[in-house]
C-alpha cells in the first residue's frame, strides 16, 4: 500500500500548530483522527488476492484484483 508519509507529516504538524489554540483535547483528538483518516483513505492497493470459501471453510476458488483500488 503506497502512502505519502510527507503528506501525513504536514497534516500532523498543522494539527499540532492549530492545537496550541484549541479549546479542548477533544478538538485536537478529532483533528488528528481526521488527518489520519484522510491519509489512509488516499492510499491505493494493487494486487489484492482473495480466496472464496464455503460456510464450512472449504476453498471454492481464488481471485486477484489487478488494478489499483482505494481503501474506503
Q: 1-55, pLDDT tens digit by residue?
A: 556 788 889 989 988 888 888 888 898 899 999 999 888 887 777 778 889 999 9
Close Cβ partners of 50 (under 8 Å, ≥ 6 residues apart): 62, 63, 64, 65
- With cut-offs at 50, 70 and 90, classify the pLDDT of residue 65: confident
Domain coverage including residue 63: 5-70
The pLDDT of residue 72 is above 80: no
The pLDDT of residue 67 is above 90: no
State the cell numbers at 52: 472464496
Q: Domain count of the chain?
A: 1
Amino acid at each position: 500500500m503506497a502512502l505519502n508519509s510527507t503528506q501525513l507529516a504536514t497534516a500532523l504538524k498543522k494539527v499540532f500548530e492549530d492545537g496550541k489554540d484549541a479549546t479542548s483535547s477533544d478538538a485536537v483528538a478529532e483533528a488528528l483522527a481526521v488527518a489520519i483518516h484522510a491519509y489512509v483513505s488516499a492510499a491505493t492497493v494493487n494486487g489484492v488476492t482473495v480466496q472464496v470459501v464455503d460456510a464450512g471453510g472449504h476453498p471454492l476458488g481464488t481471485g486477484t484484483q489487478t488494478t489499483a483500488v482505494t481503501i474506503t
